């Protein structure tokens, strides 16, 4: 089985953000949470809202164009 891109999720001081998700995206996130729990060996899947921040972080880290713009040397 291919490993999921998302590894263990560390606790960090959260900042509250409210978003609306299409139902299909929420269902897929719930399925991902189930797979993530099985792969990382945690007892119960994390709530969907705990998955979104590390997913966004990983997405932005893998976006080369964003990384170039974010870099201090790009200013």
pTM over 0.75: no
Neighbours of 3 (CB within 10 A): 7
Q: Residues of the chain whose pLDDT is less than 50?
A: 75
Q: Is residue 59 part of a domain?
A: yes
Dist CA 75 CA 69 (whole Å): 8
Identify whether the C-beta of residue 9 lies closer than 8 Å to the C-beta of residue 50: yes
Structure token pair of residue 9: 């999720």
pLDDT digits (tens, 9 = 90+) for 2-22: 777 777 877 778 788 899 999
The reply to whether 13 falls in a domain is: no
**60: its two tokens:** 């932005």
Residues with Cβ within 8 Å of 40's Cβ and at least 6 positions away in sequence, in order, are 7, 8
In a domain? residue 62 = yes
pLDDT of residue 27: 97
Residue 69 lies inside a defined structural domain of this protein: yes
Domain containing 61 equals 23-74
Domain count for the chain, please give it.
1
18 within domain boundaries: no
The answer to whether position 6 is within a domain reads: no
> What pLDDT sits at residue 1?
60
């Amino acid at each position: 089985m291919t490993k999921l891109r998302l590894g263990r999720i560390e606790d960090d001081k959260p900042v509250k953000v409210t978003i609306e998700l299409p139902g299909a995206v929420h269902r897929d996130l719930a399925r991902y949470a189930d797979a993530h729990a099985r792969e990382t060996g945690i007892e119960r899947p994390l709530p969907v809202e705990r998955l979104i921040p590390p997913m966004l972080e990983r997405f932005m880290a893998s976006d080369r164009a964003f990384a170039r713009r974010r870099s201090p040397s790009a200013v």
